Amino acid sequence: MKLNPTYSSGDINFIHDEAQIFVESIINNLDDNITPILGDDGSYHYVYLVVNKTNGFFYIGKKTVKELNSKRKFKSHSVEVQLQYLLKMYYGSGRNIQKAIETEGKSNFLKFVIKFCKSSKEGFDLENRLVDEETLKQFFNLQCMYNIQTGGIRHKIPLIVNKRVGKARELSIYLIKNENTFKVKPSEVLKYLLDGYVPKSYFIKLYKIENQRMKEKQIRLKKCGTNSLNSISDLIHALQNGWIFGHPKTLRAKQHLANQSIEQPQLVQPPQPLQPPQPVQAPQPLQPIKQGRPRKPTFQFEASLFDWQDKII
């Protein structure tokens, strides 16, 4: 079975010459008689290229096909059967490529298998060489590449990509003072902590970028198992040194981290404690949520409806 489609110049309507040169340099060096090669671990590992025929936008990825669990009922789904299905139906897990295929349909895309690798590491290394940071920046600026992070095991998301991915989303942090609960913005947490407020949550995650990699710090304000206990001063010290609240995948966190000095991070000077003449304007205390009366069940299931084990196919 021939894996790759026959390609000739003109099959793809490239709107960027740079993309055409890059994509055709890969296609022209493909093996016409490429066949699946089973890896040393009993799985198939291959690197592939997907190209949009209407505009020349492309995506490069790596896929591993493992054998299904032997305890599954459908034992006929061997790794070879899975491979045949995925070679035909799988076009990538990236958000941008999936959205494009959903919008335009698979018939508008060509998929090429670049190489079968003997191990997952070999596949990741090849993917990283094809989608390195320089290539990603070049084609992301042209908006003709569906990848948003470098290939390989240790993905990198260049800062220029960070600023254009996702939607802004502001999270809220709950603080307590004098038995009252307040909801504040993450950017204002530090000054509230300096004024005597404490987080409502005992487990806090902070994020920071160093050497273009996302780092995570966990702050535990209450003893939990054998984990060490942190103090409020540890949290304040971390915030003063560039760590922030917020989920790492939100644009607010990415933009905030991207604006920090990455090559030579500078320590933030500790702000002065709030002076009495200028007290912190605390938000209004949260009103307790009223809980309604529990609803009475209107019907009951029969035990036979839950006898699902005999109905598994």
More reliable by pLDDT, 42 or 253: 42
Check if the beta carbon of residue 212 is closer than 8 Å to that of residue 262: yes
Please give the pLDDT value at position 143: 85
* DSSP letter assigned to residue 246: S
Q: Return the sign of the alpha-carbon dihedral for residues 195, 200, 203, 209.
A: negative
Please give the pLDDT value at position 64: 92
Please give the pLDDT value at position 309: 47
More reliable by pLDDT, 110 or 66: 110
Please give the pLDDT value at position 218: 83
194: alpha, beta or left, given left = phi > 0 and alpha = psi -120 to 50?
alpha
Hey, is 65 helix, strand or coil?
strand
**Residues linked to residue 313 through DSSP beta bridges, in sequence order:** none
> What phi, psi does 40 have (nearest 5°)?
-65, -25
Please give the pLDDT value at position 170: 54
Distances (CA, A) of 207 to 56, 185, 200, 214: 37, 16, 19, 7
Please give the pLDDT value at position 79: 85
186 pLDDT more than 80 = no
Please give the pLDDT value at position 73: 45
What whole-number distance in Å separates Cα of residue 33 and Cα of residue 1? 9
Mean pLDDT of the residues in the chain: 76
149 pLDDT more than 80 = yes
pTM of whole model > 0.75? Answer: no
Token readout for 57 is 């936008």
Q: What angle in degrees, to the nearest 10, is found between the helix axes of 133-142 and 17-27?
A: 130
pLDDT digits (tens, 9 = 90+) for 78-120: 888 888 889 999 999 888 899 999 999 999 999 999 999 999 9
Pairing of strands 198-199, 173-177: antiparallel
What whole-number distance in Å separates Cα of residue 36 and Cα of residue 3? 9
Distances (CA, A) of 235 to 189, 210, 256: 10, 19, 18
What is the pLDDT confidence band of residue 202, given thresholds at 50, 70 and 90?
confident
What is the pLDDT confidence band of residue 234, given thresholds at 50, 70 and 90?
confident
Check if the beta carbon of residue 39 is closer than 8 Å to that of residue 66: no
pLDDT digits (tens, 9 = 90+) for 157-166: 554 455 444 4
pLDDT digits (tens, 9 = 90+) for 261-283: 333 334 444 445 545 545 556 65
Please give the pLDDT value at position 124: 92
* DSSP letter assigned to residue 244: B
Among 91-105, 147-161, 195-209, 255-269, which is the least confidently predicted range? 255-269
What is the pLDDT confidence band of residue 146, given thresholds at 50, 70 and 90?
very high
Token readout for 210 is 């160093």
Distances (CA, A) of 51 to 9, 71, 204: 13, 38, 42
pLDDT digits (tens, 9 = 90+) for 20-61: 999 999 999 998 889 999 998 889 999 999 999 999 999 999
